[in-house]
A and B are shown apart, each in its own frame.
Chain A
């Protein structure tokens, strides 16, 4: 490269750098200039059981294996009754089964997506963090925006989430979750006044820890606290993501008939 070309290249790079600087100062908020997020790149998976939300070693429908929610007695009784009916879902001999809301909606929602059998990816920007879980995208605003006014709040599958960075820890608060969605594969449902706090931080190169506190002033006797972990999958440039989970299409042999999941066998 000639001297003239080197100077030209330096000028071009200088122009680009200046343009980027102008963009950062004008387009991005002031706090973005000091934004230095942790590296949560890669694909992650929930560690341990997804058959229970509050325990990485829990077994679905085995109540004694789960670190279960501190339900008030009336809600504990309600949950126990529903759990028996849920355990029979899909059983053609059952009298009055109920079906998992994840099956009915083909979508899990919050807080169930804290521990799901899908891949997790974190996209961190100066103003938002996107947590991509199968076909769900949790949009966590870190720009300091206030919660919506009361009349602008209604229940959502993923709720509404705000976050703050405390060093390398992302603290997420989630409200406005639906009260009719199971929080794990058992029929444990929160009230409409429930909220979730998560404290996410990378504790080693292959592990993100999530300290979870679920606050439900209606149904709980105290806050429900537990810790989940996500393990980073090995870097594998031959690996490609699959479709998100798709239910109810023509190729789904588990049709929902009268609110019950069924099995269609080949002819």
Chain B
């Protein structure tokens, strides 16, 4: 299921992500200008795999694209250590499980985006950024 999300809750989550760690996302080895940060979208699909790699992790999800045709989506996230601090555990992201992904879409319309947050099959919600250290 693909939909352009306009819900206040997700918008608030997106704003919170920017405020809490977006500045660090601004320097994540490359610009994120290929993603439309003015749009926040959501898909529900099936996990294909989690690429737990440096410099960026990628979450691949099988879900319908905008035309309704099944596609493999790619979502770019931070590196392993940042995701780990944000609560991610590679063993908890299981291929074949249902997942909901909130993301900033690619500008070129291909099925992919910059990962903002996910909800796993067991209801666990995971953000894209670790919490800032105390005092910051």
A residues within 8 Å of B by Cβ? 45, 47-51, 58-60, 86-94, 97, 99-100, 102-103, 106, 116-117, 184-185, 206-207, 231-234, 241-243, 245-247, 251-254, 261-267
Question: With the chains together, A59 CA to B80 CA distance in Å?
Answer: 24
Indicate whether B91 reaches chain A with its CB closer than 8 angstroms.
no
A262 to chain B, nearest CB (A): 8
B30 touches A87 (CB 8 A): no
- Pairwise interchain contact A263-B112, C-beta atoms closer than 8 A: yes
Report if B46 contacts A (CB, 8 A): no
**Which residues of chain B have C-beta atoms less than 8 A from A99's C-beta?**
30-31
Interface of A is mostly: loop
Closest-by-CB residue of A relative to B51 is: A251
Q: Contacts A51-B23, A102-B29, A253-B76 hold; do A265 and B136 have CB atoms under 8 A apart?
A: no
Q: Report if B6 contacts A (CB, 8 A).
A: no
Query: 13 A-B residue contacts at CB 8 Å?
Result: A45-B136, A48-B136, A50-B23, A60-B26, A87-B33, A102-B29, A103-B31, A231-B136, A251-B54, A253-B51, A254-B30, A263-B74, A265-B111
Known: A89-B31, A246-B55, A263-B74. A231 touches B80 (CB 8 A): no
Which 10 residue pairs of A and B lie closest in terms of their CB atoms, listed nearest first?
A242-B81, A51-B26, A90-B34, A49-B23, A60-B26, A103-B30, A251-B53, A265-B74, A117-B24, A231-B135
Chain B at the A interface: mostly helix, strand, loop or mixed? loop
A232-B133, A266-B48 given; 16 more Cβ-contact pairs under 8 Å: A47-B135, A49-B23, A50-B27, A51-B23, A92-B108, A99-B30, A100-B31, A102-B27, A102-B30, A185-B26, A253-B51, A253-B56, A254-B30, A265-B73, A265-B74, A266-B73
Minimal beta-carbon separation of A56 from chain B (angstroms):
9
When the two chains form their complex, are residues B33 and A266 in contact, meaning their CB atoms are under 8 A apart?
Answer: no
Question: B47 to nearest A CB, angstroms?
Answer: 12
Q: Determine whether the beta carbon of A246 is less than 8 Å from that of B54.
A: yes
Name A263's contact: one of B34, B54, B133, B135 (CB within 8 Å).
B34
Residues of A within 8 A of B74 (CB): 253, 263-266
Total inter-chain residue pairs, C-beta < 8 Å? 129
User: Do residues B34 and A92 form an inter-chain contact, with CB atoms below 8 A?
Assistant: yes
Answer whether A247 and B55 are a contact pair too, CB < 8 Å, given A47-B136, A50-B24, A242-B79.
yes
> In whole angstroms, what is the CA distance A247 to B28 when docked?
11
Q: Is B134 an interface residue (CB 8 A)?
A: yes
Chain B interface residue number, banded: 35 or more
Q: Are the C-beta atoms of A267 and B32 separated by less than 8 Å?
A: no
Q: Which residues of A contact B108 (CB under 8 A)?
A: 92-93
Question: How far is it, in angstroms, between the C-alpha of A252 and the C-alpha of B28 when the chains are bound?
Answer: 13
- A252 B23 Cβ-Cβ under 8 A: no
B89 on interface, CB distance cutoff 8 Å: no
Quick check: is B58 within 8 A (CB to CB) of the other chain? Answer: yes
Are the C-beta atoms of B31 and A90 separated by less than 8 Å? yes
B106 within 8 A of A: yes
The distance in angstroms between the C-alpha atoms of A243 and B80, with both chains bound, is: 9
Nearest-Cβ distance from residue A58 to partner chain B, whole angstroms: 8
